[in-house]
Amino acid sequence: MLEETKELMLSLKQRWHSPAGKAILEKVLSAIRLQQPWTSFLLTLSDVEDVLNRRDLQGAPLSGLELNNVNFRETTLDFVELRGASLEYADFRGAQLNHADLSGAKLCGANFEGCLMVRANLAGADLSNASLAGSALTGANLVRANFSQADLTNAVLFGAETEDAVFDGAILTNTRFGKFAS
């Protein structure tokens, strides 16, 4: 990871660890779970103005949480920590999850259509019956991920690590795999 990228990641993650950041995140999660508007809670969060639609959860510590059926549509989730989280049937359409950690997450039936997931970590994640149509998983870690019955139509997996990933019954129409040139 480039030094600039590391600095950005640390800055985005750090904003959630202050008392104010923790309080904001608690309000946001409550609203998300109740399927209510939540962007107004972010107005005092640093760097939120960088995301035009204000749906900014970059770097948020959400590992291990149960967030089934939530709406993260068009949300910027770069560097988010969702290790081991339960996000079954969550809607991520059009979201950005670059460098996101979803390792070991339960993502059955989740919708990732049109997502940018560059260098995302999905190692050991369960994406069975998920839709990743048109998503970019360039350089992603997909080791031991389960894509059984998933739809990866037109997905781009260039440079993705796919060792021991399961694609049983997956729809791979026009899915592009390949290694980066060395």
Q: What is the DSSP string of 33-64?
A: HTT---GGGGTTSTTGGGSTT--B-TT-B-TT
- pLDDT at position 181 is 63
**Cα separations in angstroms, 163 against 46, 138, 142, 150:** 38, 15, 7, 17
Domains, in order of start, for the chain: 55-181 (2.160.20.80)
What pLDDT, in 10s, does the model give residues 67-110? 999 999 999 999 999 999 999 999 999 999 999 999 999 999 99
Low-confidence ranges of the chain (pLDDT < 50): none
CA angle in degrees (0–180, nearest 5) for 50-54-58:
65
Phi, psi (degrees; rounded to nearest 5) at 3: -60, -40
- pLDDT at position 55 is 87
Q: What is the mean pLDDT of the chain?
A: 94
The residues that bridge with 81 in the sheet, in sequence order, are 61, 101
- pLDDT at position 50 is 61
The residues that bridge with 156 in the sheet, in sequence order, are 136, 176
Percent of the chain with pLDDT over 70: 95
The whole-angstrom separation of Cα 40 and Cα 61 is: 19
What's the whole-model pTM score? 0.93
Strand (E) or helix (H) holding 9: helix 3-14
Cβ proximity of 105 and 83 under 8 Å? yes
